């Protein structure tokens, strides 16, 4: 401790504050000087984009909550009142509704970026786990938010998901009753979901801060997956990446705006414009699109595994899918991070993406419907292949490919790789010893 | 590499936006196995809006046909200004309807002519009465029906024009009807429209096709009254964002111009 007044590079009022609460020093160090590898591609925009979406969701959500009524008899009509009678209420509501989907799009691309370039590997394991925690928190928040308009899918989605907890042996039914606040999904359930839906974004915000702190300790990964070795491998975060992120954010907002203004219900389900009716089950209960792969994993376990019955097995598989994702840093045995230098694993990762898209379709369709009529192959059959493959990827492919794959030679440094010879002549006089 | 990545991201975003732009007001694909033909609507496209004349005709169809069984709870008479009716016309329309109220002196339940501030009254006092009067079927509220059915207004039009003779071998129970567009095809609603069922003030021939088209448009408006405002704002927002994207890209290029990357 060096006394009450820390020295500061700032003067005047800013310096006075900074010597007592070093927020300006912090911003200077973490968002201006923070050395970022000079070779980010546009995949590195999606962290900033996801942060923007979180802020948009919180801002629109707080205003929507001023008009929304969490009561089973009034929730549906209060949302419609927002759409019809509140000034620009339709805009707020459509921003929030489509914002959830756009948030997930940003986060899924962000996760894919992490997987492709090996951002989860040592020393970023905790950073990665905090990311998976954020994903789980987002899923919980999105699920509870979808219940609030109290349409048919809200109600029946809530019923299906909360019922999952009844699969827990011995105490399952008691836990479900406790979650509901009654003996079925009813007014207490809606009330607590509203309360938690308002709370969780602030928890997410807190974990985002931890995620960013962890990032700033170890520094960013980059498309080459090799560590910066000298200041010549990096650029200051500002203005280089603030400028690049700004452009990426605006492009993302164009897509977001296209949905909000020209196809606001495209990613929703028509049944959620039917008020909830506990006595009338919809023909197909489907969750929002971003849950479909996980929903497919849940439903594809329709067989008993030894003493675990199918229902519990499905629930364990669904949560297990997130657990194996969190364990990726230890499951992947390859010392090389970036798929750019992993000629075998990169194709398995492409296959994983295809597998998840297939699972999405499995989740969206009725299990017993045929994929192509006449072929006799149902969506459930596809699920029986795609669901195990997800786990095989993490539990078998990741360790084994990491062990046996021969990675391509890595460049000596980031600067080496980004300053190739052009027209046969080195670009700079400070030519690296070995041309990439 | 940079360019390729940029192109890939742009392509991915375009792929994401493409179906959305094509889907327009439509909801997710239907999924009940009946192909619903897409119709031409005045609100199609980025600049599409409502045709007020059509909405007015559609309103008369609702008033004279649908309203005898279907409520429109979320729509108020004042909202009819959107259809191009002026204050007097809205007041005149409202006064044709009777709404329940309380006598402010005695507290007795009374009915009175509706005011523009009132919402459309329901034809039945409660769902039980509605079922009792309709052979056990509950006529749904129509306020958001155009958003509550896959394929939206296309579906409503297909349903209203979909009363055809049942194919050979399909048994239609007594009091039910066969409809080509309805999921399962057996519907409780009797064919509501017939040629000349409503007499249009503007002289438009009131064929079943025309009546179905107009009332489907009216119900699209009822479900999405802010549609025109939304699209007009959307064009401005997207133009603004495109300009902003150009500026931020130029800034990014300038900032990075002294760095090889």
List, for residues A58-71, the tens digit of each pLDDT value.
Answer: 999 999 999 999 99
Q: What share of chain B has pLDDT > 70, as a percent?
A: 87
Residue scoring higher pLDDT (A351 or B24): A351
Does the beta carbon of A371 lie under 8 angstroms from any beta carbon of chain B?
A: no
Give the residue from B236, B220, B234 showing the smallest Cα distance to B82: B220
As a whole number, the mean pLDDT across chain A is 93
Q: How many CB pairs under 8 A join A and B?
A: 137
Note whether B113 and B95 are within 8 A (CB): yes
CB contact under 8 A, A246 and B248: yes
What pLDDT was estimated at residue B33?
A: 65
Interface probe with B: pick from A89, A232, A262, A363, most Cβ of B within 10 Å: A262
> Is residue A308 scored above 80 in pLDDT?
yes
Q: Measured between beta carbons, which residues in chain B are less than 8 angstroms from residue A270? A: 27-28, 147-150, 152
Helix (H, G, I), strand (E, B) or coil at B101: strand
Tell me which residue in B73, B245, B255 faces A239 most closely, judged by beta carbons.
B255
ipTM of the complex: 0.90
> Is residue B5 scored above 60 in pLDDT?
no
Q: CB B106: neighbour CB atoms within 10 A?
A: 8
What pLDDT was estimated at residue A419?
A: 74
Q: How far apart are CA A359 and CA A297, in angstroms?
A: 7
Q: Look at A34-48, B16-30, B34-48 and tell me which has the smallest mean pLDDT.
A: B16-30
Helix (H, G, I), strand (E, B) or coil at B43: coil
What pLDDT was estimated at residue A175?
A: 95
CA distances in angstroms from B5 to A43, A104, A346, B248, listed in the order given: 8, 21, 16, 18
What pLDDT was estimated at residue B12?
A: 53
Mean local confidence (pLDDT), A203-229: 96
CB contact under 8 A, A246 and B150: no
Peptide bond preceding A239 in cis form (omega within 30 of 0):
yes
Cα B195 versus chain centre, distance: 23
Chain B 35-54, CB below 8 Å of chain A: which residues? 46
Beta B109-113 vs B177-178: how paired, if at all?
unpaired
Mean local confidence (pLDDT), A396-407: 96
Q: Which residues pair with A151 in a beta bridge?
A: A275
Mean local confidence (pLDDT), B20-37: 58
Q: Look at A77-91, A360-374, B18-32, B123-137 and tell me which has the smallest mean pLDDT.
A: B18-32
Read off the tokens for A235. Answer: 């650029």
Mean local confidence (pLDDT), B199-224: 96
> Is residue A434 scored above 70 in pLDDT?
no
What pLDDT was estimated at residue A44?
A: 97
Q: Scanning every residue of chain A, which has its alpha carbon at the shortest distance from the alpha carbon of B244?
A: A250
With vertex at residue B55, the alpha carbon angle to CA B228 and CA B188, rounded to the nearest 5 degrees, is 115
> Is residue A429 scored above 50 in pLDDT?
no
Note whether A253 and A47 are within 8 A (CB): no
Mean local confidence (pLDDT), B164-190: 94
Q: Measured between beta carbons, which residues in chain B are less than 8 angstroms from residue A246? A: 248, 251-252
> Is residue A425 scored above 70 in pLDDT?
no
Q: How far apart are CA B61 and CA A28, in angstroms?
A: 66
pLDDT tens per residue across span A247-290: 999 999 999 999 999 999 999 999 999 999 999 999 889 999 99
As a whole number, the mean pLDDT across chain B is 90
Chain A 247-276, CB below 8 Å of chain B: which residues? 247, 250-255, 257-271, 273-274
Size (chain B), residues = 261
What pLDDT was estimated at residue A417?
A: 85
pLDDT tens per residue across span B72-126: 999 999 999 999 999 999 999 999 999 999 999 999 999 999 999 999 999 999 9
Q: Which residues pair with A422 in a beta bridge?
A: A425
Mean local confidence (pLDDT), A211-230: 96
Mean local confidence (pLDDT), A120-130: 97
Q: Scanning every residue of chain A, which has its alpha carbon at the shortest distance from the alpha carbon of B247?
A: A247
CB contact under 8 A, B20 and A258: yes
What pLDDT was estimated at residue A424?
A: 44
What pLDDT was estimated at residue B3?
A: 53
What pLDDT was estimated at residue B22?
A: 43
Does the beta carbon of B121 lie under 8 angstroms from any beta carbon of chain A?
A: no
pLDDT band at A421 (very low <50, low <70, confident <90, very high): low
> Is residue B13 scored above 60 in pLDDT?
no
Note whether B111 and B101 are within 8 A (CB): yes
Chain B 67-106, CB below 8 Å of chain A: which residues? 73-74, 79
Does the beta carbon of A1 lie under 8 angstroms from any beta carbon of chain B?
A: no
Q: Measured between beta carbons, which residues in chain B are less than 8 angstroms from residue A418? A: 260-261
Read off the tokens for B112. Answer: 């009175």
Does the beta carbon of B26 lie under 8 angstroms from any beta carbon of chain A?
A: yes
B162 exposure class (CB count in 10 Å sphere: 0-12, 13-18, 19+): buried
Does the beta carbon of B5 lie under 8 angstroms from any beta carbon of chain A?
A: yes
Q: Look at A104-118, A138-152, A373-387 and tell me which has the smallest mean pLDDT.
A: A373-387
Q: How far apart are CA B27 and CA A20, in angstroms?
A: 56
Active site residues of A: 216, 220, 244-245, 288
Q: CB B92: neighbour CB atoms within 10 A?
A: 11
Mean local confidence (pLDDT), B15-41: 61
pLDDT tens per residue across span B59-78: 999 999 999 999 999 999 99
Query: pTM for this one?
Result: 0.92
> Is residue B29 scored above 80 in pLDDT?
no
Mean local confidence (pLDDT), A314-340: 97
Mean local confidence (pLDDT), B47-64: 97
pLDDT band at A423 (very low <50, low <70, confident <90, very high): very low
Mean local confidence (pLDDT), A286-305: 94
Q: Look at A40-44, A302-306, A339-343 and tell me which has the smallest mean pLDDT.
A: A302-306
Helix (H, G, I), strand (E, B) or coil at B112: strand
> Is residue A193 scored above 60 in pLDDT?
yes
> Is residue A433 scored above 50 in pLDDT?
no
Q: Measured between beta carbons, which residues in chain A are less than 8 angstroms from residue B260? A: 418-419, 427-428
Mean local confidence (pLDDT), B239-245: 98
Q: What share of chain A has pLDDT > 90, as a percent?
A: 88
Residue scoring higher pLDDT (B34 or A151): A151
pLDDT band at B27 (very low <50, low <70, confident <90, very high): very low
> Is residue A85 scored above 70 in pLDDT?
yes
Q: How far is B80 from chain A (nearest CA, A)?
A: 13
DSSP string, B59-89: HHHHHHTGGGT---TT-BGGGGGGGT--HHH
Cα A328 versus chain centre, distance: 15
């Amino acid at each position: 401790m060096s006394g009450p007044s820390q020295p500061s590079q700032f003067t005047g009022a800013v310096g006075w504050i900074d010597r007592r609460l070093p927020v300006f020093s912090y911003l200077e160090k973490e968002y201006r000087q923070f050395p970022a590898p000079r070779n980010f591609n546009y995949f590195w925009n999606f962290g900033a984009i996801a942060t923007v979406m979180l802020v948009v969701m919180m801002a629109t959500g707080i205003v929507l909550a001023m008009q929304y009524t969490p009561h089973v008899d009034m929730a549906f009509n209060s949302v419609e009142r927002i759409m019809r009678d509140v000034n620009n209420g339709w805009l707020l509501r459509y921003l929030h509704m489509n914002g959830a989907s756009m948030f997930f799009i940003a986060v899924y691309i962000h996760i894919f970026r992490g997987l492709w370039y090996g951002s989860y590997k040592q020393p970023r394991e905790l950073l990665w786990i905090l990311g998976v925690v954020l994903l789980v928190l987002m899923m919980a928040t999105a699920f509870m938010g979808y219940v609030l308009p109290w349409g048919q899918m809200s109600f029946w989605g809530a019923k299906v998901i909360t019922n999952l907890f009844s699969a827990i042996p011995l105490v399952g039914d008691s836990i479900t009753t406790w979650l509901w606040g009654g003996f079925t999904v009813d007014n207490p359930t809606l009330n607590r979901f509203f309360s938690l839906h308002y709370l969780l974004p602030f928890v997410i915000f807190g974990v985002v801060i931890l995620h960013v702190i962890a990032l700033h300790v170890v520094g960013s990964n980059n498309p080459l997956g090799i560590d910066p070795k000298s200041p010549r491998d990096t650029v200051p975060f500002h203005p280089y990446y603030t400028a690049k992120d700004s452009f990426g954010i605006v492009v993302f907002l164009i897509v977001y705006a296209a949905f909000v203004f020209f196809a606001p219900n495209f990613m929703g389900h028509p049944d959620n414009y039917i008020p909830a009716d506990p006595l009338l089950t919809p023909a197909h209960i489907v969750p929002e699109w971003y849950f479909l792969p996980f929903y497919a994993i849940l439903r594809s376990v329709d067989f008993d595994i030894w003493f675990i019955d199918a229902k519990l097995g499905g629930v364990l598989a669904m949560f297990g899918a997130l657990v194996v994702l969190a364990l990726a840093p230890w499951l992947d045995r390859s010392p090389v991070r970036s798929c750019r230098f992993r000629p075998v694993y990169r194709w398995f990762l492409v296959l994983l993406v295809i597998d998840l898209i297939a699972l999405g379709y499995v989740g969206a369709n009725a299990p017993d419907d045929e994929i192509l009529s006449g072929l006799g192959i149902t969506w459930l059959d596809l699920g029986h292949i795609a669901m195990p493959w997800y786990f095989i990827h993490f539990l078998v492919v990741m360790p084994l490919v990491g062990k046996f794959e021969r990675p391509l030679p890595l460049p000596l440094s980031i600067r080496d790789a980004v300053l190739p010879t052009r027209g046969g002549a080195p670009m700079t006089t400070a030519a690296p010893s070995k041309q990439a | 590499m940079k360019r390729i990545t940029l192109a890939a991201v742009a392509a991915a975003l375009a792929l994401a936006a493409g179906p959305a732009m094509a889907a327009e007001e439509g909801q997710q694909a239907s999924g009940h196995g009946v192909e619903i033909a897409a119709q031409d609507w005045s609100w199609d496209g980025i600049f599409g809006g409502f045709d007020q004349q059509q909405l007015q005709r559609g309103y008369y169809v609702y008033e004279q046909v649908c309203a005898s069984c279907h409520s429109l709870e979320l729509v108020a008479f004042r909202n009819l200004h959107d259809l191009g009716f002026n204050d007097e016309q809205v007041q005149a329309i409202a006064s044709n309807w009777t709404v329940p109220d309380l006598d402010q002196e005695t507290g007795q339940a009374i009915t009175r002519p509706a005011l523009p501030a009132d919402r459309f009254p329901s034809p039945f006092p409660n769902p039980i009465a509605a079922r009792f009067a309709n052979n056990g079927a509950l006529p749904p509220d129509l306020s958001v029906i155009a958003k509550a059915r896959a394929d939206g207004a296309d579906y409503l039009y297909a349903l209203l024009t979909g009363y055809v003779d049942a194919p050979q071998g399909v048994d239609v129970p007594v009091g039910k009807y066969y409809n080509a567009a309805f999921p399962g095809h057996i519907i409780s609603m009797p064919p509501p429209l017939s040629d000349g069922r409503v007499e249009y003030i503007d002289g438009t021939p009131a064929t079943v096709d025309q009546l179905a088209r107009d009332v489907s448009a009216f119900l699209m408006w009822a479900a999405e009254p802010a549609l025109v405002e939304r699209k007009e704002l959307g064009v401005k927002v997207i133009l603004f964002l495109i300009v902003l994207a150009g500026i931020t890209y130029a800034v990014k290029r300038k900032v990075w111009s002294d760095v090889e990357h």
